[in-house]
Structure 1
Amino acid sequence: MKGAAAEARAAAHLAALGREVLARNYRIPGGEIDLITRDGDVLVFTEVRQRRRSRHGSAAESVTPRKLALMRRAALTYLTREFGRDDLPCRLEVLAVDGPPETGKLTLIPLDG
């Protein structure tokens, strides 16, 4: 798995922030959520992006509108499958790793909407 090291570091970082990791690599046809955590009463759906070099933009810049739409769809599916409803408090975010997965700079970016 290409991003496994970055995802493992991201999960450890989120756990160190006090979050409970509920799921990793939650997949539905056509979409995936890298990490699902609980931050108090809020479910957080996290896309992990890693770029070794900035030649083609930062890790955060690699998240496209299409990827965000797929994240939203996968998050709604998770909510309805796991909790039977889609109106629970939740949010989307990107955890960007710029540089090597083990030592690169981590940036947590909350997403609106």
Structure 2
Amino acid sequence: MSQHKGAAAEQQAADFLVQQGVRILARNWHCRRGEIDLIVDDAGTLVFVEVRSRAASRFGDAAASITASKQAKLVAAAQHYLATLSRTPPCRFDAVLLDGAAPPRWLKNIIES
């Protein structure tokens, strides 16, 4: 996905989540272990959000692109983020999936901790 399309997908996901009542804390948070697309506060729960977009399902839907390797990188980056906080809040990993023209799908708890 091009950088422009990726940024547009992340903006669409952020707008969608704000409409659902979450507060955006960070976008494209980077560390040496990886990147987290969005970090949000969902009613007191810190949520690490992976945004996945697929224009066509030729190679599977957006959810299929969240591999075990990608999940491991998300967990490592989240651990790095949590180490910067004075206390560890309740947290989870979610995904916002953008498949073609379909409305966004919000999957909660995509990684069991």
Runs of 4+ in structure 1 off by over 2 angstroms are none
Q: Which residue of 2 aligns with 1:90?
A: 91
Query: Aligned pair count?
Result: 108
Q: Which blocks of at least 5 consecutive residues in structure 2 are unaligned?
A: none
Measure how far apart 1:80 and its partner are: 1.2
- TM-score scaled by structure 2? 0.89
State the distance in 2 between where 1:75 and 1:30 align: 9
Q: Which blocks of at least 5 consecutive residues in structure 1 are unaligned?
A: none
Match status 1:107 vs 2:105? yes
Q: Which residue of 1 aligns with 2:50?
A: 47
Q: Indicate the SS of the match to 1:10.
A: helix
- CA deviations on 1:19-68 (whole Å, 9 max, x unpaired) are 11000000112411000000111000000000000000000100110110
- CA deviations on 1:60-84 (whole Å, 9 max, x unpaired) are 1001101101101111111111x13
Q: Give 1:57's match in structure 2, choosing from 60, 80, 84.
A: 60
Measure how far apart 1:105 and its partner are: 2.8
- TM-score scaled by structure 1? 0.89
Q: Give 1:31's match in structure 2, choosing from 31, 34, 52.
A: 34
Identity across the alignment (%): 44
What is the RMSD computed on CA atoms of the aligned residues?
1.2
Q: Indicate the SS of the match to 1:105.
A: coil
Return 24-33 or 41-50, whichever deviates more. 24-33
